[in-house]
Structure formats: structure tokens, C-alpha cells
Amino acid sequence: MNHPKIIQGGMGIGVSNWKLARAVSISGGLGVVSSTALDTLMVRRLFHKDEDTKRALLKFPLKNISEKILDNYYGEKNNNKGYPQLPFFSVDIRDELIALTIAANFVEVYLAKEGHSNPVGINLLEKVQMPTLYSLYGAMLAGVDYVIMGAGIPREIPGILDKLSAGHDAELNLYVSGAQSGESYKMHFSPKKFMGKQLNLKRPYFFPIVSSNTLATTLMKKSNGKIDGLIIENYSAGGHNAPPRVKGVFHDNGSPVYGDKDIVNLDKIKELDIPFFLAGSFVTPEIISKTIDEAGASGIQVGTIFALTSESGFEESIKLEIVNKIKNNTINIFTDPMASPTGFPFKVASIKGTLSEQDIYDNRPRVCNLRYLAELYKDENGNIGYRCPAEPINEYLKKGGKIEETVGRKCLCNALLANIGYGNTYKNGYKEPYLITLGDSVSLISHFLPDEGLPSAKNVTIQLKSYIEN
């Protein structure tokens, strides 16, 4: 199989939107949309009467669902109360949320694939488990060609893709803190029941993202179906990073120290005899040609520079500010070991007025109104609860959370939606602040930047392709 050699990384929430993915795919790369929080994002786009979303929704195969979503969410419905509050994901998920999730993933992939026949992928986070079955199915209804998944060990996904494509029921085991061994909690989805008939769909290729040889080997051995390729991501990449193998060692500025043990042995990856792609600062002709020629990689996955293109979801003003900082050599990226509620290190760009600044963080009232990153736990009565270390501290402690887990935690759900222009503004006028993630490659990408304005996804893709082909 000839997979595209340039994969544009799936960047959530909504940085890798359909516009970016479509432009990259048309230009010969693999455009990838982010699936994270698409239900909320679709509803917020509809709130602003986004016509592309409406048009795609009207192509959704179940008219009763698309019409109901438009009736409920198109335009402002609630007398200036702001964005509608959706139900939370839970083990007993509401039918309405299942339908919204399937439709939202359908819409994003449909739009990314519109008007061309090149492949398009979707990126999911393994740690965000409850939406997964529905997100995959919605994307598959729109004919998604690749599923890419990071931030965990997605052993069950290949088998789920097989089942969903055959129209069979599928289940996903959930991690529940405090559950006894032998107890299992699952999400369940019946495509036949949802669609009202048995439907066969294309089985997309599955590429997990891994950051160690052990994980790559485990996934190859223990997955319940075919893995079609691997993305090997190093710790310079934007977004979340795998924690260092040696824990508890920090630089003076508080970022974790990575060492030799964190470098993936590519010779061992080659022995797995599977296409692999390298991610994390693969942006210069020298680095790229070395990668392809010496390491034997099939290609690269690139995020940071695509996040700064005119098509990406980031607010235009913040992109222009970052590009200026890059040109002036004043951009600073910090690997924050505490910011993300997932517990994984998270790359944060130090930018004035954003949550990277202590006073902006201190002044943000803690609220948890999206809950995508909540951990599931079993309480003393045996019920399942949901807690996030970035939620109000007293709530978290009441749920058995530990105080030290709350220190420095940032509400990524709200901040990442703010970054793309869909942040909450509350009744008292408080606006959710930004928190920008980018990779260490910010110091290597000035050759992509035009004298004025932002680079285009097309030009970045073509430039990257030329580095691989030469």
C-alpha cells in the first residue's frame, strides 16, 4: 500500500479542522481532522449559523437526526444565555449525545473529503474513551480512510473498526479507577439499531501513535486486529508528550528531563515490518531526508507548522502573534508536567494574556462544564463517578481526588475551545482564556513563513513533499 508520505497531525480541539485537512489532502498529504470534542464544536458552530456545518449535516444519512439537531441548535435559541450546555458523556450515555457525536464526526469528515478523492484521516485520543465508538462510526459513515490514535494504548480499536465496518455491535472497555480486577465497564454501540439496518462500511487503516519500542511491540502483539502503520512521536512534538521513562527529574524551570531511554530505537521498529512515520520536529530538508533515507521511515507526521497556517482552527490574531514571535526569536515553549488533567506532560507556548501566565491562571474560576478529560472512578457505594483534577478543588476532593493532583492543573477543554474562537463567555463577562500548545519545532520553521501574513496549508504540504522527494 502506498500511504501518503506527509501526515498532517490531528490537533485538538478543532485546530485540525476540516478546512486544514481538506487543503492538505488536496495537496497530496494526508489531511487529518481532530475528533476531540466535536459534538460541542458542532453545536457551537451551529449556534453561529455556520452554513458549511448545516450543509454537511443535511447530508447525514438519518434525516430525523439531522433535522432534530438543526431544530435544537441552529442559531441562538436561549435568549442570550450563551452556548447550550450539552449532556456529559457517561457510562449510561443519553441517546441525544450519541446522535450528536456520530453526526458531528460525520460532518467533519464529510467536509474534509468534499470535492476531491484523496484520503482523509481522523485523530482520536485514547484517553478520551466514552465518545470513541460513536466518533469512529460517524467518521466511517462519511468514509474516513485513516484512524490515528495517540495518548494511550489503543489495543481494542483495530477489532472495533472491523466490527463497525461489518455492521456488528462493538464494545470498548473503560478504565475505572478503583475497580476490582475482573470487574469490567464498557461502552456499547449497535450500528444496526442506530441505522435501522445492517450496513457495511469501509474499514479505515489504523495508525496508533507511540513513543517507545515497548509500546510499539506490545501493540503489534496484543491488539485485537490489524495495525496498518505506526506513528513514532518524540518528545519535541506539540500537544501531549509521553512522560519520560525516568520519573521525578526536572530542569530548573520545572520541565521534565528526557534522556537516552526516551529515544526510540528505529532499527527495532523496522524489525516489526510495518510502515512507520516519524513525528516531532520533522520540518527541515536535512532532518527529513536523513529520516527517510537512513531510518527507513515511510514518511512523517507534522503538526506545529500546520497549526500556524491560515486554514487551521487557531484564532487568526494568535497565529499572527506567534508567527511574529517566531520571526523575532522570542517564542518560548515549556513542557508543563502539571497543566494537563491527563497527567501527561503538555507543551505550552508562553504567551502574554494566556493561561501560561500565573496571574491569568490564578484568576480563572475553576469550572467543569465540558468534562471530556474526566477520570472514571468507583465510589464507596459502587457507583461510577467522574472527576477531573482541573475542576473546582472542593468537588474533586469530595470525589476522593488528592489535593496534590490539583496543583497547576488547567482546564484544557475550555482553553482549547477558546483558542479556536469557540470559548465560553460567562454571565459576569468573564471569557475563558487561551492556552496555546506548540512543539519545540517552532525554532526550526521560519523557512515556511511568508514575509507577510500566514503560510498556506498547500504551500507547507508542497514544501514538505519536496524535502521528501529530493
Ligand X SMILES: Cc1cc2nc3c(=O)[nH]c(=O)nc-3n(C[C@H](O)[C@H](O)[C@H](O)COP(=O)(O)O)c2cc1C
Binding site for ligand X (CB under 6 A): 9-12, 15, 34, 36, 123, 125, 150, 209, 233, 236-239, 279-281, 301-304, 307, 437-439, 441
**HEC per residue, 144-182:** CCEEEEECCCCCCHHHHHHHHHCCCCEEEECCCECCCCC
The grid coordinates of residue 157 equal 480499536
For the chain, the C-alpha Rg in angstroms (whole number) is: 21
Shortest distance in whole angstroms from residue 383 CB to ligand X: 30
Q: Which is nearer to ligand X, 132 or 301 (CB)?
A: 301
CA distance 264 to 295: 11
Q: Which is nearer to ligand X, 125 or 326 (CB)?
A: 125
Q: Which is nearer to ligand X, 142 or 307 (CB)?
A: 307
The grid coordinates of residue 2 equal 502506498
CA distance 296 to 287: 13
Nearest to 420 by CA among 161, 108, 64: 108
Shortest distance in whole angstroms from residue 297 CB to ligand X: 13
Shortest distance in whole angstroms from residue 352 CB to ligand X: 18
Q: Which is nearer to ligand X, 96 or 321 (CB)?
A: 321
Shortest distance in whole angstroms from residue 276 CB to ligand X: 13
Q: Which is nearer to ligand X, 163 or 465 (CB)?
A: 465
Shortest distance in whole angstroms from residue 210 CB to ligand X: 11
Shortest distance in whole angstroms from residue 437 CB to ligand X: 5
Nearest to 305 by CA among 83, 462, 82, 97: 462
Pairing of strands 205-210, 230-233: parallel
Q: Which is nearer to ligand X, 238 or 337 (CB)?
A: 238
Angle between helix axes 18-26 and 457-469 (nearest 10 degrees) is 40
Q: Which is nearer to ligand X, 146 or 194 (CB)?
A: 146
Shortest distance in whole angstroms from residue 347 CB to ligand X: 7
* Bridge partners, residue 240, by sequence: 346
Q: How many CB atoms lie within 10 A of CB 173?
A: 12
Shortest distance in whole angstroms from residue 309 CB to ligand X: 12
Q: Which is nearer to ligand X, 120 or 279 (CB)?
A: 279
Q: Which is nearer to ligand X, 164 or 412 (CB)?
A: 412
Shortest distance in whole angstroms from residue 49 CB to ligand X: 27
Pairing of strands 375-378, 384-387: antiparallel
Contact yes or no for 153/355 (Cβ under 8 A): no
CA distance 228 to 417: 31
Shortest distance in whole angstroms from residue 17 CB to ligand X: 12
Q: Alpha carbon 452 to chain centroid distance? A: 29
Per DSSP (E only), the strands in 390-436 are none
Q: Which is nearer to ligand X, 21 or 388 (CB)?
A: 21
Terminal Cα distance for the chain, rounded: 21
The grid coordinates of residue 331 equal 517564542
Angle between helix axes 38-47 and 95-113 (nearest 10 degrees) is 80
Q: How many CB atoms lie within 10 A of CB 193?
A: 9
Contact yes or no for 441/281 (Cβ under 8 A): yes
* Chain residue at closest Cβ approach to ligand X: 303
